[in-house]
Amino acid sequence: MNLSRKIMLLAILAFQSNTNAETYSQGETLTIDKPVAESINLEFSNASDLEPKIGKFEVLSSVLMSNTNGERWATVTLKNQSSHQRLLDREHIIAIFANGEKRNPIQAKHKISGDEETTIIINFGESKFPILRVSIRN
């Protein structure tokens, strides 16, 4: 199975199993946005000073999604780098949009066991600009 099919399957499975998906507006289908290479340096001159809260988390992968209503979502696989359980909240995560805006998700609160990897779906609200990257600071 090629990488793009694996990513799509992962996104579908995670979306179906995550409780955050209940906040998704019924009837409007999400599509996967074209990925942006991690090696691209993003330095917006008008970027806000918003930075993620420091935590013990690492983003292993992300799949960015949107719909025609402008809703922006991300399916993110995270690893708790601590050996102890940690609480991931909305201040640990930011999305960087194509216009340079940085934004925390609408809601995110997950208990993640020590050394656990988990996939969650995160809603970043509406924007006419796509998400370029999801970031966490450790």
* Average pLDDT of the residues in 115-123: 96
Comparison of pLDDT for 31 and 6, the residue scoring more: 31
For every residue of 63-123, DSSP letters joined together read EEEE-TT-EEEEEEEEEE-SSS-EEEEGGGEEEEETTS-EE--S--EEEE-TT-EEEEEEE
Question: N- to C-terminal Cα distance for the chain?
Answer: 33
pLDDT confidence of residue 39: 66
Judge contact between 76 and 59, C-beta under 8 A: yes
In this predicted structure, the answer to whether residue 88 has a pLDDT above a threshold of 80 is yes
Q: What are the chain's domains?
A: 3-23+30-36+44-136 (2.60.40)
Q: pLDDT grade, residue 40 (50/70/90)?
A: confident
Q: What is the DSSP letter of 56?
A: S
In this predicted structure, the answer to whether residue 54 has a pLDDT above a threshold of 60 is yes
